[in-house]
Amino acid sequence: MTRQQQVLDAAIRVLGTGGMRQLTHRAVDTEAGLPQGSTSNHFRTRDALIGAVLGRLLEHETALWASVAGDVATPEAFADAVGALVERLAEDRVLTLARHALFVEVAQRPELRGDVDRAHREIGSWALPLIAGLGAADPPADLALLLAVIDGLLANQLANPNPRFDPAAALRTVLRGMLAG
């Protein structure tokens, strides 16, 4: 792991345990066990740090997808894989809470929107062909719907944990409706 990744992972932990107000260069240095000023050496401004954290979250989520996705050529298999992804993200509360904290920040500060747009384009580059392969009539709109469902499932599970959480069942229902048209 590079020093920059170490800093970003520490920033994710700060966000996921303390929220956006706690995200300071000093707090990240402390969390990472690095000398004061280390985070600032990599990311001069808080906005630069936020943008880089969004990128690092995308790296983590993409790696997680790769670990759960096998053959996803059928709606059932796709729903099962995405369901497994959602379960893993719900289990990694710190990562997912950090992600949600960043989304709230972006909603309040539109100048950061470009970083989220870049992440969505990257997700789209590998997810749109999968959605299209399932027979979606409008892959971009259907992907946006799936991402919204995933975010909703995660938010609900984080706020009100259900021991019988089964996101794959909800995703199968959404996919049936999406692909029926």
Exposure class string for 102-139: b at 16+ Cβ within 10 A, else e = beebbeeeeebeebbeebeeebbeebbebbeebebeeb
157, 90 Cβ separation under 8 angstroms: yes
Task: Report angle CA 8, 10, 15 to the nearest 5 degrees.
Answer: 95
- Determine the pLDDT at residue 69: 87
Q: Which residues contact 112 (CB under 8 A, 6 or more apart)?
A: 47, 50, 51, 105, 106
Tell me the pLDDT tens digit for each residue of 14-71.
Answer: 999 999 999 999 999 999 999 999 999 999 999 999 999 999 999 999 899 989 888 8
106-115: average pLDDT: 89
- Determine the pLDDT at residue 112: 87
CA distance 84 to 11: 25
* Residue 6 identity (one-letter amino acid): Q
pTM of the predicted protein model: 0.89
Q: What would the two tokens of residue 153 be? A: 């499932």
Rg value, the chain, Cα: 17
Is it the case that residue 181 has pLDDT exceeding 70? no
